[in-house]
DNA sequence: ACCCCGATCGTA
DNA sequence: ACGATCGGGGTT
């Protein structure tokens, strides 16, 4: 098994978002296949939190690739992102769906649902998954067909096909 | 100090 | 298709 390194996450966000489909998350005793992602790219992406510039919340998006960006949404749910690209360029990949590879073999479709199940919250914001022992990604063999669609739940930037789903 | 709204979810 | 939900981000 080969752990995904800094260089992988520094690649262009669309490439990372696509290549993350079928990769495996190792999270404590969980193993999970990534089945759905979305890309948020730069300050010119109107759907990105970074569109309004560098703030306390969006700071991780401007930081080093391979760190997590975890934020609270709708007052209830958390969303898990992995920061991409070079330092000071705000971009990240939202993890929208995973399939658990060990019991209870759940299909967790939805960014809020998967964070709720894995108990991922603000404590994980800014975690460096290139070096962490309990949270990292590994290469896994897969031959998914990847479908590209508009992103979910946004009102702007709907013209971009920046959501990727394993068929 | 406060207003406002959202990268959602579950039910209809 | 739609409404519940409410913490906290951004601005005063």
pLDDT tens string A21-64: 999 999 999 999 999 999 999 999 999 999 999 999 999 999 99
Q: In this model, does residue A2 exceed pLDDT 90?
A: yes
A55 touches strand C (CB under 7 A): yes
Are A40 and A92 in contact, with CB atoms under 8 Å apart?
A: yes
CA distances A2 to A50, A58, A156, Å, are 31, 30, 37
Average pLDDT score, chain A:
96
Give the distance, in angstroms, between residue A57 CA and nucleotide B8 C1': 19
CA of A1 and C1' of C9: distance in angstroms? 40
- pLDDT reading at A110 higher than 90: yes
pLDDT at A141: 82
Q: Is the pLDDT of residue A1 over 90?
A: no
A86, A5, A98, A87: CA torsion to nearest 10: -10
Buried b or exposed e, range A32-66, using 16+ CB within 10 angstroms: bbbbbbbbbbebebebbbbbeeeeeebebbbbbbb
| A67 beta carbon to strand B: under 7 Å | no
Residue A154: closest CA among A62, A40, A57: A40
pLDDT of A142 above 90:
no
- Provide the positions of strand B that have an atom within 7 A of a protein CB: 6-10
Report, as an integer, the average pLDDT of A57-76. 97
- Does A115 score more than 90 pLDDT? yes
Average pLDDT over residues A122-147: 95
Q: What is the rounded average pLDDT of the residues A127-135?
A: 97
Strand C nucleotides where any atom sits below 7 Å of a protein CB: 4-11
Q: Are A4 and A134 in contact (CB under 8 A)?
A: no
């Amino acid at each position: 098994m080969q752990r995904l390194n800094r260089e992988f996450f520094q690649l262009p966000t669309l490439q990372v978002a696509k290549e993350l489909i079928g990769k495996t998350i190792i999270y404590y005793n969980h193993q999970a296949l990534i089945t759905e992602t979305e890309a948020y790219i730069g300050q010119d992406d109107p759907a990105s939190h970074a569109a309004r510039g560098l703030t306390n919340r969006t700071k991780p998006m401007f930081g080093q690739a391979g760190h997590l960006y975890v934020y609270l949404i709708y007052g209830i749910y958390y969303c898990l992102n992995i920061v991409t690209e070079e330092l000071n360029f705000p971009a990240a990949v939202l993890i929208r769906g995973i399939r658990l590879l060990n019991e209870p073999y759940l299909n967790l479709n939805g960014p809020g649902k998967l964070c709720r199940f894995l108990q991922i919250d603000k404590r994980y914001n800014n975690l460096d998954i290139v070096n962490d022992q309990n949270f990292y990604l590994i290469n896994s063999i897969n031959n998914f067909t990847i479908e590209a669609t508009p992103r979910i739940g946004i009102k702007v930037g709907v013209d971009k096909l920046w959501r990727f789903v394993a068929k």
